Amino acid sequence: MRRRGRLYPVIWKELRDMARDIKTIAAIAILPLIMMPFMGLTSIYVQTLQQGVAVVINEDPGKIVIGDHVFTTQQLVNEIENALKSKGFIVTTHNVSRFDIKVIIPKGFRANISSFTRLALIRIIKAVGSTKANAGESAVASVLGSFAHEVAVAKVDYLGRLARVKVSPSSVLDPIIYTTTLVGPSGAAVSVVESFRVMLGRILAFSLIFVTTPSIAYITDSVVGEKERKTFEALLATPVPRWSIVIGKALSASLIGLATGLADAIGLLLFFAIPSMTYGINLLKLLTPTLLAAHVSAVYLSVLASLALILPIVIRSGSYRVAQAFSLAIIGVASIVFFIALYANIGALTPSLRYLLYVIPYSHAVCMIKQAVLGEVWNTILHSLILVGEIAVLLAIAVKLFSEEKIIYSKT
């Protein structure tokens, strides 16, 4: 009870300081609320708004006859045009100079594709630097794959008739089939929705990158700024224990993380609500209460971890430049961890790399979210406890390194 009483005045003082700059605090808290829907907007909608120009040239119009099957190159052109239009392209059959992708059906295509000894060529030309060209090529490749399969079926059927042999084209062209079953950690089969939830976990883990910077900037100003304003000496002159100054500042600044976590959760709901309303697909069912709780907790603990990492440096140096340099280093380490989480499963890495990453608090925040996605509640709790333990160790180091002389006499 006495310890809590010693901590209370510092927290109260910090909250009063925060209240004087409520606009900045509000901006920090609202940032994730804006960023998450904005990420969804840029990744989903902006791409559909970007128009590209596609040119489709048919230099060999006419029929393709293979036994009883008849195709036309115009049929192929129409399918290519529809596929490109579905990707947001403006399609023209005129040979314009500026384009993102050009598809040419050259002369001799009909003769080659109906032949049993030659290959048919279609030329695809992409403009360098075009972000739409790859999407266009993928759409064209899909159409060409379907058309090639239809021609192959016609050829197998024709050869079977010539040989007077009953042939199943699919048994010749696709002699092997396979099935894929999704299973969870327990080995039980799961739905496709679960696989989308795992992808969501990667996005959520990466989104933690947005919450590390504001708290580090605030705590740096809280310590070094007080030195510059000559108010730290008055705080040190009070009978408040030195450990309560360190812990009080960390806990007070971590409230920004709590506000950020709640705002991030709301932004996450908006991230999925917007496409749900637009396309009529209920993506919100991917968000379970456990996942939302793990995400908010991971955000708060990530902020607290950032504070615990920077506090020993800020307290010991007291210099804005040194603090800013180490702040950038911490943000860089956090970014590395979050990028790794986007492309790899930390828990499945080689032991040497995995345990090295486990030393970094952010790794456990990532694992909290990914374990919550898989429904592994106990593993989620385990990683949260390890993260809390690492934060406690770092705060203990900060208390140990607390030096009144360094704070008072070092230059800002």
| Mean confidence (pLDDT) of the chain | 79
Looking at the fold, whether 130 and 252 belong to one and the same domain comes out as no
- Helix, strand, coil shares of the chain, percent, nearest 5, are 70, 5, 20
Q: Is the pLDDT of residue 28 over 70?
A: no
Looking at the fold, whether 200 and 130 belong to one and the same domain comes out as no
- The closest alpha carbon to 140, from 120, 123, 118, 115, belongs to 123
Looking at the fold, whether 148 and 196 belong to one and the same domain comes out as no
Global confidence as pTM: 0.67
Q: Which two tokens stand for residue 1?
A: 């009870």
Top mean pLDDT of 184-193, 246-255, 340-349 is at 340-349
Q: Is the pLDDT of residue 274 over 50?
A: yes
Q: Is the pLDDT of residue 384 over 90?
A: yes
Give domain status of residue 15, yes or no.
Answer: no
Looking at the fold, whether 139 and 239 belong to one and the same domain comes out as no
Looking at the fold, whether 118 and 196 belong to one and the same domain comes out as no
Instruction: Please report which confidence band the pLDDT of residue 324 belongs to, taking 50, 70 and 90 as the band edges.
Output: confident
What's the maximum distance between 2 C-alpha atoms anywhere in the chain? 104
Q: How many domains does the chain have?
A: 2
CATH at 101? 3.40.1710
In tens, the pLDDT along 73-127 reads: 999 999 999 999 988 899 999 988 889 999 999 999 999 999 999 999 999 999 9
Looking at the fold, whether 158 and 223 belong to one and the same domain comes out as no
Q: Which domain range does residue 251 map to?
A: 192-409
CA distances from 211 to 14, 27, 180, 215, 331 (A): 20, 12, 38, 7, 10
Looking at the fold, whether 388 and 251 belong to one and the same domain comes out as yes
Give domain status of residue 283, yes or no.
Answer: yes
Neighbouring-strand partners of residue 373:
none
